[in-house]
Amino acid sequence: MSIQIRVENFSGPLDLLLHLIKSHEMDIYDIRIVEITEQYLTIIEQMQQLDLDVAGEFLLMAATLVHIKSRMLLPVSEDVGEEEEDPRAELVKRLLEYQRYKDVAELFQQLPQLERDIFLGQFQLADFFEGDSEENEVAIGIYQLADAFHQLMKDQPVESFHEVVRESLSVATYIERIVEKLTEKIRLSFREFFSAEFSRNELIVTFLATLELVKMRAVNIEQVDAFSEIWLALSIPPDQLSQISPEKDLLGYE
Amino acid sequence: MNNLRQLVEAFIFASDGPLSLDRLSVLTEQPKALIRPVIEQLLQDYAASERGFYLAEIAGGYQFRTVAELAPWLRKLSKDRATRFSKAALETLAIIAYRQPATRAEIEYLRGVDSGGVMKTLLDKNLLRILGKKDVPGRPMMYGTSRHFLELFGLRDLNDLPTLKEFAALDPEMIEADPLDPEPVG
Amino acid sequence: MNNLRQLVEAFIFASDGPLSLDRLSVLTEQPKALIRPVIEQLLQDYAASERGFYLAEIAGGYQFRTVAELAPWLRKLSKDRATRFSKAALETLAIIAYRQPATRAEIEYLRGVDSGGVMKTLLDKNLLRILGKKDVPGRPMMYGTSRHFLELFGLRDLNDLPTLKEFAALDPEMIEADPLDPEPVG
């Protein structure tokens, strides 16, 4: 009989054990541990002979059974005041609990299931409202968030971060920063741009970026008197600023 | 509003998920007290007539669904998008459904096997969700079933799950002994 | 067949697109001559009652559609889906959640694409907040997640986010490395 038992038909050692108990018509509260251990070990052995990859969990259960068997064989000491627990107790508890969920699992299988037994209307509102279709938006939770980060990090070389920050010293990036600041404040003095903390290279790039913006007619430079403060101001409405970005590639300063 | 019924019906029909009373109230700009009787009426109307679909109460909301008896026919639309579950996946789902919030360690103790892979599959299928971390050393993640789980199995809410006692009823010996505390359903 | 009407109604309801008479005949295994009057009846029934949707004849087939007058209302359905995100938004939010404070350059490096637009959307949705400026040349803005982000995802604080290590532990490939380890991971 046991020859037909294959480990992959069981979702785990508890499943296998339950099967053995049932097929030997044992009472789950009074498992004949010697017999069941023997049966269990035979199956495990056969599986190993068949060169099956016997999962660690099945071996662990084998060890548990052997341990319970040995405790059952020990003579019960009469002097002990408290009643000793049946060595099988924990296993029985686990088996009963497992049996419950196994039953529920079978019931789940029988419940009418969406897309298998029950179907929804396929009417798509988006077909009507062209234009505001939402590029495959999905509802997300913590898992999706963590998964997204996990996926991104899988492809990243370790700690390549700091270099990047330094490398971002491109004219395009600085154009964006200037625009960002100008969107906030509309008018800014030159001095506010050229912060004292700037490195030489950054000063140059910031300057080039400013010139580029002037060339694109996105920014005006104003100076009231010679040597007085130089002011930068946006010359186009902020909502048109996005049109600046496509030209980034054409800059060629990088 | 005379056409509230029409509007409610249209919203439920056009929504991609079940619509709750709250949501319907916001959408129709009408108090819930007005919407509830409309829903009641719709539920009755659809239940009374022999229709191809009916108004179902799912995941705390309302949704039109085809009737179960037509399943063999409707499968011919051959959409074949059904989720197929392994035994391991259903067991894991069952444990989490009843014990939520459940940690991976609990699930693995109850099943007797490593369940990481199965859990990841269920998470990917959006049937589980992470509920946060448990306030015990190591702060393990806690898992529960998702809204999509309710939708998939056509459950109103978690209380709609068959009670474990009902299960025990299938096996009289188990009731007598009932060695395990009935798990509160979250 | 007594329930042909029910069946036809269900097929039309559950189909991805309009169903023609021919197709309905094949699906129901009934001659067209029997199906035509059923359709006629359905068309009449839906037209007569003030319903939220009706049976429309589209592209040589039949399909249930919401009534045109309700379009302005139904448009509201596509709005206010708070927890719905595009892939770009999800990635950006994930990076900021895990790496905060994060600058735009960092986010764009990790994603490999411009993320300005997505970040603006997330800021508009009140999911991000500006944490100040980074003390590096250029003083880029640093972004973090907002309180609203925590509420939306049901997190008590940022420590409630799963760590990458825990996350990777769900991956079956990594578990197989040590199959005999009896300690459940949690």
pLDDT for A213-229, tens place per residue? 777 777 777 766 666 66
> What rounded mean pLDDT belongs to chain A?
74
Give yes or no for residue C157 having a pLDDT over 70. Answer: yes
Identify the chains in contact with C, defined as 3+ C-beta pairs within 8 A. Answer: A, B
Give yes or no for residue A82 having a pLDDT over 70. Answer: no
Q: Of A12-26, A53-67, A215-229, which range is least confident?
A: A215-229
Q: What's the pTM value of the predicted model, to 2 decimals?
A: 0.71
Give yes or no for residue A16 having a pLDDT over 70. Answer: yes
Give yes or no for residue A51 having a pLDDT over 70. Answer: no
**Structure-block tokens of residue A238:** 């902020």
Measured between beta carbons, the chain B residues lying within 8 angstroms of C76 are: 27
Measured between beta carbons, the chain B residues lying within 8 angstroms of C52 are: 5-13
**What is the C-alpha to C-alpha distance for residues A31 and A25, in angstroms, rounded to an integer?**
10
- Per-residue pLDDT averaged across A23-37, rounded? 91
ipTM of the complex: 0.78
Give yes or no for residue A134 having a pLDDT over 60. Answer: no
**What does the pLDDT read at residue B60?**
93
Q: Are C142 and C99 contacting, i.e. CB atoms less than 8 angstroms apart?
A: no
Measured between beta carbons, the chain A residues lying within 8 angstroms of C87 are: 136, 148
**What does the pLDDT read at residue C101?**
92
A198: distance to nearest CA of chain C, Å? 6
Interface contact B10, partner A, CB < 8 A: no
Measured between beta carbons, the chain A residues lying within 8 angstroms of C81 are: 137, 139
Residues 234-253 of A with CB under 8 A from C: 245
Interface contact C48, partner A, CB < 8 A: no
**What does the pLDDT read at residue A227?**
60
- Per-residue pLDDT averaged across A85-93, rounded? 89
DSSP designation for A92: H
Q: Of A4-13, A102-111, A152-161, C24-33, which range is least confident?
A: A152-161
Provide the pairing of β-strand C61-66 with C102-103: unpaired
**What does the pLDDT read at residue C159?**
87
**What is the C-alpha to C-alpha distance for residues B21 and B39, in angstroms, rounded to an integer?**
9
Look at C184 and B105 and tell me if their CB atoms are within 8 Å. Answer: yes
Picking from A123, A132, A145, the nearest residue to C94 by CB comes out as: A145
Residues 15-34 of B with CB under 8 A from A: none
Interface contact A200, partner B, CB < 8 A: no
Q: Of B83-87, C37-41, C173-177, which range is least confident?
A: C173-177
**What does the pLDDT read at residue B27?**
93
**What does the pLDDT read at residue A160?**
44
- Tell me which of A180 and B27 has the higher pLDDT: B27
Pick the closest to residue A173 from A253, A79, A86 (CA basis): A253
**Structure-block tokens of residue B121:** 């599959």
- Per-residue pLDDT averaged across A225-234, rounded? 68
Q: Coil, helix or strand for A97?
A: helix
- Tell me which of B52 and A230 has the higher pLDDT: B52
Interface contact C97, partner A, CB < 8 A: yes
**What does the pLDDT read at residue B57?**
95
**What does the pLDDT read at residue A98?**
92
Q: Of A19-23, B76-80, B175-179, C145-149, which range is least confident?
A: B175-179
Q: Of A85-89, A244-248, B180-184, C182-186, which range is least confident?
A: C182-186
Pick the closest to residue C99 from B138, A152, B143, A141 (CA basis): A152
Interface contact A165, partner C, CB < 8 A: yes
Per residue in C116-138, pLDDT (tens digit) is: 999 999 999 899 999 999 888 88
Interface contact C14, partner A, CB < 8 A: yes
Low-confidence residues in chain B, pLDDT < 50: 1, 168-186
Measured between beta carbons, the chain C residues lying within 8 angstroms of B11 are: 52, 73-74, 77
**What does the pLDDT read at residue A172?**
75
Measured between beta carbons, the chain B residues lying within 8 angstroms of C179 are: 114
Look at A198 and C137 and tell me if their CB atoms are within 8 Å. Answer: yes
Pick the closest to residue B35 from B67, B58, B12 (CA basis): B12
Q: Which residues of C50-84 are buried (b: 16+ CB within 10 A; e: fewer)?
A: ebbbbbbeeeebbbbbbbeebeebbeebbeeeeee
Residues 16-45 of A with CB under 8 A from B: 28-29
Q: What whole-number percentage of chain C has pLDDT above 70?
A: 88
Interface contact C12, partner B, CB < 8 A: yes
Angle at B126 between CA B125 and CA B130, to 5 degrees: 130
Provide the pairing of β-strand A138-139 with C84-85: antiparallel
Give yes or no for residue A245 having a pLDDT over 60. Answer: no
**What does the pLDDT read at residue B54?**
95
For the beta carbon of residue A52, count every other beta carbon within 10 angstroms: 14
Give yes or no for residue C165 having a pLDDT over 90. Answer: no
Look at B82 and A116 and tell me if their CB atoms are within 8 Å. Answer: yes
Interface contact C114, partner A, CB < 8 A: yes
Up-side HSE of residue B113: CA atoms within 13 Å toward CB? 24
B58's torsion region: left (phi>0), alpha (psi -120 to 50) or beta? beta
Picking from A57, A108, A109, the nearest residue to B114 by CB comes out as: A57
Residues 43-72 of B with CB under 8 A from C: 50-53, 64, 66-67, 70
Bridge-partner residues for B62, per DSSP?
Answer: B19, B57
Give yes or no for residue C28 having a pLDDT over 80. Answer: yes
A170: distance to nearest CA of chain C, Å? 11
Look at B120 and C160 and tell me if their CB atoms are within 8 Å. Answer: no
**What does the pLDDT read at residue A241?**
64
**pLDDT band at residue C166 under the 50/70/90 scheme:** confident
**What does the pLDDT read at residue A158?**
54
- Per-residue pLDDT averaged across C81-110, rounded? 88
Give yes or no for residue A163 having a pLDDT over 50. Answer: no
